[in-house]
């Protein structure tokens, strides 16, 4: 490894192109914008009679899900198929690791399948980074969500949703509401919004569900929903993640809904043309009223559509970055 390579971020090749996609932290605005622009170009593929482009023909994408997620898994499968890749999906949570196999052992067995790319979802923060550090050089790693740490493709599909409905980020007020403490989506969104130049990022939730030091992300913190929603352009509701909680962080789901649930009356405090988003799955009557989730302000189903395009963009860009890096290394080895 050259000194230049030693300083190069794990996610990027020598030219600054994407070769893994592990988190949004540290990625420049130009690269995030390139992901959004590439995804925009893929949106029309979904409207074709034959929903395929040949960019990953002959490549194998292996979805490795140590943690269940129907929506994320399905959209990654569709994205890879639309790029003409061969797709394998492994629900590892129900197989090898339940029999005592370590993450490192699982990685070596997956490498033996000669896949070109792994999409990894894991309950432990940092799992995707660990795999990217130890995988053989020609394999790209895409983080499909790791613990409380990051969900970068969800963050980018949320940015695409905002951009397509609101245009530029430079004049927007965006509120992220709910279980900030346990949400990898919230972290990815805060990082992406700041990088893309959003001037007013708000996080709203009870004190027990706000991380210590969340202000470091350049956000304003509110513990009153009505105050936090005043005149915002975008409302991103988060799922209440009971499975990641320990102890009495909340008195009850009913009390949470009473204070922080998004109702039609509370949404009236936002701008008249505000959009409402949610990464799913939705807990109706816990985070959000059905009339809002299904109403005119909701773009929740649009997020799913945009998610396929974003994942197509990330898969194709990472594979292109890996190819460029291999060519560079081969040329410099001669």
- pTM, two decimal places: 0.92
Please give the full DSSP string across 254-270, using - where no structure is assigned.
HHHHHHH-B-HHHHTTS
Please report the domains of the chain, with CATH numbers, ordered by start residue: 3-150+305-333 (3.40.50.1370), 152-299 (3.40.50.1370)
Contact 308, 79 (CB under 8 A): yes
DSSP conformational letter for 90: E
Contact 91, 121 (CB under 8 A): no
Contact 299, 275 (CB under 8 A): yes
State how far the Cα of 65 lies from the Cα of 72, in Å rounded to an integer.
Answer: 10
Contact 117, 61 (CB under 8 A): yes
What would the pLDDT profile of 109-124 be if each residue is shown by its tens digit? 888 888 999 999 998 8
> Residue 63 belongs to what H/E stretch?
strand 60-65
Q: What is the DSSP pairing of strand 86-90 with strand 234-237?
A: unpaired
The distance from CA 109 to its chain's CA centroid, rounded to whole angstroms, is 26
Three-state DSSP at 317 gives helix
State how far the Cα of 326 lies from the Cα of 137, in Å rounded to an integer.
Answer: 8
State how far the Cα of 317 lies from the Cα of 120, in Å rounded to an integer.
Answer: 17
pLDDT in tens, the chain (334 residues): 333 344 457 999 999 999 999 999 999 999 999 999 999 999 999 888 889 999 999 999 999 998 878 889 999 999 999 999 999 988 776 555 555 567 778 788 888 888 999 999 998 899 999 999 999 888 999 999 998 899 999 999 999 999 999 999 999 999 999 999 999 999 999 999 999 999 999 999 999 999 999 999 999 999 999 999 999 999 999 988 765 444 445 667 888 899 999 999 999 999 999 999 999 889 999 999 999 999 999 999 999 999 999 999 999 999 999 988 888 888 887 6
């Amino acid at each position: 490894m050259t000194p230049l390579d030693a300083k190069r971020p794990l996610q990027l090749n020598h030219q600054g192109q994407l070769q893994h996609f592990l988190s949004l932290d540290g990625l420049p605005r130009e690269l995030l914008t390139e992901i959004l622009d590439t995804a925009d170009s893929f949106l029309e593929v979904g409207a074709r009679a034959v929903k395929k482009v040949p960019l990953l023909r002959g490549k194998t994408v292996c979805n490795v899900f140590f943690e269940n997620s129907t929506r994320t898994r399905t959209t990654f499968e569709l994205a890879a198929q639309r790029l003409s890749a061969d797709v394998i999906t492994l629900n590892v949570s129900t197989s090898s690791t339940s029999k005592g196999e370590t993450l490192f052992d699982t990685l070596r067995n997956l490498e033996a399948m000669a896949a070109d790319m792994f999409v990894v979802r894991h309950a432990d923060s940092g799992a995707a980074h660990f795999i990217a550090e130890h995988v053989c050089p020609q394999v790209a790693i895409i983080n499909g969500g790791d613990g409380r740490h990051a969900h970068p493709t969800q963050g980018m599909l949320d940015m695409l949703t905002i951009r397509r409905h609101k245009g530029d980020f430079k004049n927007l007020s965006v509120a992220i509401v709910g279980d900030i403490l346990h949400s990898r989506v919230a972290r990815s969104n805060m990082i992406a919004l700041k990088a893309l130049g959003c001037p007013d990022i708000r996080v709203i939730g009870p004190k027990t569900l706000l991380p210590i030091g969340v202000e470091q992300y350049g956000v304003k913190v509110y513990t009153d929903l009505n105050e936090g929603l005043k005149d915002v352009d975008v409302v991103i509701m988060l799922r209440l993640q009971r499975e990641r909680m320990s102890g009495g962080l909340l008195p009850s789901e009913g009390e949470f809904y009473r204070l922080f649930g998004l109702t039609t009356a509370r949404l009236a405090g936002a701008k008249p043309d505000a959009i409402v988003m949610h990464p799913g799955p939705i807990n109706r009557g816990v985070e959000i009223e059905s009339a809002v989730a299904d109403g005119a302000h909701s773009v929740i189903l649009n997020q799913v559509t945009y998610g396929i395009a974003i994942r197509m963009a990330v898969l194709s860009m990472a594979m292109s970055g890996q190819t460029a890096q291999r060519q560079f290394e081969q040329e410099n080895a001669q």
